[in-house]
Structure 1
Amino acid sequence: MKEKVNRSYVHDLMERILLTPSPTGYCRQVIELLRVEAEKLGMSGRFLQKGGLIIDVPGTAADKTIGITGHVDTLGAIVRSIKPSGTLRLSPVGGYMMNSIEGEYCSIHTRGGDIYSGTILTTKPSVHVFSDARDQKREEAVMEVRIDERVSSEQEVKALGIRPGDFISFDPRFRSFGNGFVKSRHLDDKAGVAAMFGTLELISRGEVKPLYPLKFIFSNYEEVGHGTSSIPSDISEMIAVDMGAIGDDLNGTEYGVSICAKDSSGPYDYDMTSRLIELAERDGIGYAVDIYPHYGSDASAALRGGNDIRAACLGPGVSASHGMERTHMDAVVQTAALLALYVSEG
């Protein structure tokens, strides 16, 4: 199956969505991009109440409906306040280390539609000026955005149309290499979303015929914990396609599919997880099974929301998650392939 996945299609779509800003709460542009992409595949998408997207795919049997979810929202920030100096204090969106965004280029998106460039710095950004610059604790209170405009006061910033509550997106710094590596912010979970569309593209070509009706859900609030806390009532099984964590005593790599057996919400469904392992082994798909104690997915959000479902979680292995992330196209392609096997064979 992995040989049938359109690798260039998956790569190009992943690049497009990675370059589209979508911090949690500010996802309309990327959701619309996916809706249009679904139309190109001959499929129609409809919007969810919270702004996400759902694509219905018919199946040949009516025993159950499988939900497949990935999230388009990413880490980011919101303007907390405008300082008298003309810099911006930020409030984080999603969970990340403050040192991981220090020195990052960013964009401020005003509610009037303007976009301004900036850089995230500490309040003591130069060792030539501050003797304790190196020792300053990296925490929210000391992080600020330097705007690339001639501003040195709160009034001058407000004159640009920037206000508290405006969204801040981080420069993804996308780079792709001939050896298959892709490094970028927000591979969590845009690599997983690209893999989902890799499966949809297989279905559109007739390479995969779903056994059961499918609902592909692209959520926009996963990074804050409630992406798919509520799902359509006909879904009885759900697979979260989300990045696989790498490091410590984990087995996953950047080259294969990570199957999560347990995360912070508890164990995933035994039979679904076992079936994914069986299909991967049978089809020669590189995989690893791991436990993520500091991790949650849209499937665990659905379970916490009280939905009566069975759930599993898989995705491409991603190095340095919620930091300067990297994966390999082999992992993304094999994720699409394993997902295709599951939906065609159950």
Structure 2
Amino acid sequence: MKSKLNKAYMTEVLEMLLRTPSPTGYTHHIMKKVEQEVNKLGYELTYTNKGCGIVTVPGVRNDRVIGISAHVDTLGAMVRSIKENGTLKITSLGGFMMGAIENEYVQIHTRDERVYDGTILTSRPSVHVYEDAREFKRDEANMEVRIDELVKSKKEVQDLGIRVGDYISFDPRVQVKENGFVKSRHLDDKASVASLFGLLRLIQEEGLKPLFTIKLFFSNYEEVGHGSAFIPEDITDFIAVDMGALGDDLSGSERDVSICAKDSSGPYDYQMTSKMIELAEKLEIGYAVDIYPRYGSDASAALKAGSDIRAALVGPGVHASHSMERTHMDAVVNTAALLAAYVMEPVEA
């Protein structure tokens, strides 16, 4: 089944997603693109009240329903205030190091759909001017956006239509390499969304019928912890597809699908996780099992919200998460392959 997955298609979808700004809370544009792509494959996307998207794929049986989620929302920022010198103070959306966004190009999205370019800097951005520029603490209070417009005052910024509460997206700096590497911001979690589209296209092209009905769930508030606080009540088994963390004391790689046995919310379902491992080994899908003590997922959000589900967490390995991220398309394909195998041979009650 892995050989039938269309890597070129997943790469194309991933690049489209990465180039579409979608900081958490500002996901209406990317959800329209998700809907268009779903429609191209012959399926329908329905929406929850807060804008999450759901695609239903009928199975041979409907006595259990498998939910599979990935999130389209990303890290970003919002205008906290407009300074008298014409720069913008920011407040962060999602958890990242301020050093990871220093000197990054950004776009400011106004409520009336105007877009302005800018750069995130500290308020002491030059070693030639400020004696403490190197040691200056990188925190929200000391970061600002320099707008690429002829503005020197708060009023001139307001005349552009920029207001407190406007969204700020980071330049993803997408690069797709011939050797399969993809480096970009926001691979968390757009690499996983690309895997879901690979799965959906495989089902459509091969005429596959999952054992149980599946519902693909595109969440839009994962970075702030409630992307899947609501999921459809008929979902009995829930697989969060989110990036696999890489680093010290972890065994995954940028080419593997990561299977998370436990994160900050506790252990994932024993039977589901064991089945994922069994399938990966049987089908020779590159995988690793890891534990993430500083990580939460859409599955843990659903559990905390009281959903009566079994839950698992898998996803493509991503290096330098919440910073300048990198993965390999092999990890995206391996994730889609594991999901495809699971929906055809899931854990039964």
Q: TM-score, normalised by structure 2?
A: 0.98
How far residue 17 of structure 1 moved from its aligned partner, in angstroms, is 0.5
- Counterpart Cα distance in 1 of 2:29 and 2:252: 32
In the other structure, the counterpart of 1:134 is 134
Alignment RMSD? 0.6
In the other structure, the counterpart of 2:273 is 273
Residue-by-residue CA offset, 1:288-323 (whole Å, 9 max, x unaligned) = 000000000000000000000000000000000000
How far residue 208 of structure 1 moved from its aligned partner, in angstroms, is 3.3
Query: Are the aligned partners of 1:208 and 1:340 in contact in 2 as well (CA < 8 Å)?
Result: no
In the other structure, the counterpart of 1:324 is 324
- Counterpart Cα distance in 2 of 1:189 and 1:76: 13
**SS at 2:92 equivalent:** strand
How far residue 16 of structure 1 moved from its aligned partner, in angstroms, is 0.1
1:160-239 to 2 correspondences below 5 Å:
160-206=160-206, 208-239=208-239
How far residue 206 of structure 1 moved from its aligned partner, in angstroms, is 2.0
**SS at 1:96 equivalent:** coil
In the other structure, the counterpart of 1:83 is 83
| Alignment of 1:52 onto 2:52 | yes
How far residue 67 of structure 1 moved from its aligned partner, in angstroms, is 0.3
Residue-by-residue CA offset, 1:168-191 (whole Å, 9 max, x unaligned) = 000000001000000000000000
In the other structure, the counterpart of 1:124 is 124
- Counterpart Cα distance in 1 of 2:344 and 2:286: 19
In the other structure, the counterpart of 2:283 is 283
How far residue 112 of structure 1 moved from its aligned partner, in angstroms, is 1.0
Amino acid corresponding to residue 98 of structure 1 in structure 2: M
Query: Are the aligned partners of 2:252 and 2:258 in contact in 1 as well (CA < 8 Å)?
Result: yes
Query: Are the aligned partners of 1:18 and 1:190 in contact in 2 as well (CA < 8 Å)?
Result: yes
- Counterpart Cα distance in 2 of 1:44 and 1:288: 33
How far residue 70 of structure 1 moved from its aligned partner, in angstroms, is 0.4
- Counterpart Cα distance in 1 of 2:57 and 2:263: 29
Query: Are the aligned partners of 2:90 and 2:143 in contact in 1 as well (CA < 8 Å)?
Result: yes
- Counterpart Cα distance in 2 of 1:9 and 1:310: 31
In the other structure, the counterpart of 2:25 is 25
How far residue 62 of structure 1 moved from its aligned partner, in angstroms, is 2.0
Query: Are the aligned partners of 1:320 and 1:326 in contact in 2 as well (CA < 8 Å)?
Result: yes
In the other structure, the counterpart of 1:341 is 341
**SS at 1:106 equivalent:** strand
Amino acid corresponding to residue 59 of structure 2 in structure 1: G
- Counterpart Cα distance in 2 of 1:230 and 1:52: 10
Q: TM-score, normalised by structure 1?
A: 0.99
1:34-53 to 2 correspondences below 5 Å:
34-53=34-53
| Alignment of 1:105 onto 2:84 | no
How far residue 207 of structure 1 moved from its aligned partner, in angstroms, is 5.3
Amino acid corresponding to residue 253 of structure 2 in structure 1: T
Query: Are the aligned partners of 1:257 and 1:316 in contact in 2 as well (CA < 8 Å)?
Result: yes
In the other structure, the counterpart of 2:252 is 252
In the other structure, the counterpart of 2:241 is 241
Query: Are the aligned partners of 2:58 and 2:209 in contact in 1 as well (CA < 8 Å)?
Result: no
In the other structure, the counterpart of 1:146 is 146
- Counterpart Cα distance in 2 of 1:84 and 1:61: 63
Gaps of 5+ in 1: none
Amino acid corresponding to residue 339 of structure 1 in structure 2: L
Residue-by-residue CA offset, 1:220-272 (whole Å, 9 max, x unaligned) = 00000000011111000000000000001000100110000000100000000
- Counterpart Cα distance in 1 of 2:53 and 2:141: 35
In the other structure, the counterpart of 1:74 is 74
Query: Are the aligned partners of 1:192 and 1:332 in contact in 2 as well (CA < 8 Å)?
Result: yes
- Counterpart Cα distance in 2 of 1:315 and 1:273: 13
In the other structure, the counterpart of 1:92 is 92
- Counterpart Cα distance in 1 of 2:268 and 2:122: 40
Query: Are the aligned partners of 1:69 and 1:216 in contact in 2 as well (CA < 8 Å)?
Result: yes
**SS at 1:70 equivalent:** strand
